Amino acid sequence: MKGLEISKAYAQEYGIPMLLDKFYQYMNKIAVGLVGEGSECFGFDDSFSQDHDFGAGFCIWLPEEDYRQIGAQIQNAYNELPKNYMGYERKSTYHGVDRVGVISIQRFYSRYIGLDRAPHDNMEWLRIPETFLATATNGQVFLDNLGKFSDIRSTLLGFYPKDVVKKKIAARLAVMAQSGQYNYMRSINRGSNEAAYMACNEFVKAALSIIYLINEHYMPFYKWSFKGLEKLTKLKGAASKLSDLIGICDNLENAARKQQIIDEICNEIVCELNLQGFTRTTDTFLETHGLEIMDTIEDSRLRNMHIMLDAR
């Protein structure tokens, strides 16, 4: 059974009845769910996930003023709920202590996006790394009578504004051009397998990000970045080739094959950029596409930035 299913069943059987019984007057302020850090929040948990920070647990979100007034009492009542559920006993580590239980809405979002509200403009959006937005919007909300937690969540799930998407894609294209189309083979020819490895790594990270951006999904942190591709529909061929690419050692013997895969990935991305209307040029060098996209950004603050400048 998946961790999110366990959490929802546990909240419905024990958590919400406890809140209705002991804190009924606050139910119009309370949100309940499971969102945040942990493989179970992404639906990626498996048997290996159960050795730490896994088991019966859920989040109770309150507005800051109500959290200060009643948060400790609700947390004490939460702590009295059964520790074992469906044969799962929650195993918490130091890093997992604050993942479940009573949390202020404002503090929850401040922790992951640096704001206690939804972003208001392009610059605020640009500063938030994709992986933290993925963490702040995963999981599920089981109950939200006030709607405040869900309102912020809904705005974040609406994805980056168009100009921010363009700026991020342009930055990734520039990195892919520099690392994969230019520096990879130069590093091999110099006999620097270490530099070639690093160039390939930068290429893969940027390509992964572009795939998520074009699919309008936030990329989860590196551990789950390939796993998350399974849910996406666009650029599936490029995603598969990235898996092939990282499985090949960086040396002179393999260099031609790796460069061929890099070029195939770039060509597929060019086709998708044309199809989605991001670019018109058919040039295979990705920096050309990045520069074209930069010219279409309406927000002058973003348009005038260095093409590679961006918060990951």
Cα–Cα distance measured from residue 197 to residue 251, given in angstroms and rounded to the nearest whole number: 9
Q: Are 263 and 257 in contact (CB under 8 A)?
A: no
pLDDT > 70 fraction of the chain, expressed in percent and rounded = 94
Domain chopping of the chain, boundaries: 3-157, 162-303
Per-residue pLDDT at 43: 93
Average pLDDT over residues 52-68: 89
Determine how many CB atoms are found less than 10 A away from the CB of residue 194.
Answer: 10
Check whether 73 has a pLDDT greater than 50.
yes
Per-residue pLDDT at 47: 66
Per-residue pLDDT at 12: 98
* Residue-averaged pLDDT of the chain: 95
DSSP secondary structure code for residue 102 in this structure: E
Q: What values do phi and psi take at 104, rounded to 5?
A: -70, 135
Determine how many CB atoms are found less than 10 A away from the CB of residue 87.
Answer: 9
Q: Are 286 and 177 in contact (CB under 8 A)?
A: yes
Cα–Cα distance measured from residue 160 to residue 218, given in angstroms and rounded to the nearest whole number: 9
Q: Are 204 and 180 in contact (CB under 8 A)?
A: no
Give tens-digit pLDDT for 259-312. Answer: 999 999 999 999 999 999 999 999 999 999 999 999 999 999 999 999 999 856
Give tens-digit pLDDT for 232-255. Answer: 999 999 999 999 999 999 999 999
Q: What is the dihedral of CA 75, 81, 83, 88, to 10 degrees?
A: -110
Q: Where are the alpha helices (DSSP H) in the chain?
A: 3-10, 16-22, 39-42, 64-79, 105-113, 122-126, 130-137, 148-157, 162-176, 184-189, 193-214, 236-246, 252-276, 286-295, 300-303
3-157 sits in which CATH class? alpha beta
Check whether 62 has a pLDDT greater than 80.
yes
Cα–Cα distance measured from residue 107 to residue 149, given in angstroms and rounded to the nearest whole number: 11
Give tens-digit pLDDT for 100-110. Answer: 999 999 999 99
Average pLDDT over residues 178-207: 97
Per-residue pLDDT at 275: 98
Per-residue pLDDT at 88: 77
Q: Strand, helix or coil at 104? A: strand
Predicted confidence band of residue 94 (pLDDT cuts 50, 70, 90): very low
Q: Are 168 and 209 in contact (CB under 8 A)?
A: yes
Report angle CA 293, 130, 280 to the nearest 5 degrees. Answer: 15
Per-residue pLDDT at 55: 75
Give tens-digit pLDDT for 14-53. Answer: 999 999 999 999 999 999 999 999 999 999 987 666 655 5
Positive/negative CA dihedral, 262, 267, 268, 269? positive
> What global pTM score does this model have?
0.94
Per-residue pLDDT at 95: 47
Q: Which residues pair with 60 in a beta bridge?
A: 32, 102
Q: Which residues pair with 61 in a beta bridge?
A: 31, 103
Per-residue pLDDT at 87: 81
Per-residue pLDDT at 306: 97
Average pLDDT over residues 80-91: 84
Q: Strand, helix or coil at 39? A: helix
Check whether 120 has a pLDDT greater than 90.
yes
Per-residue pLDDT at 86: 86
Average pLDDT over residues 61-78: 98
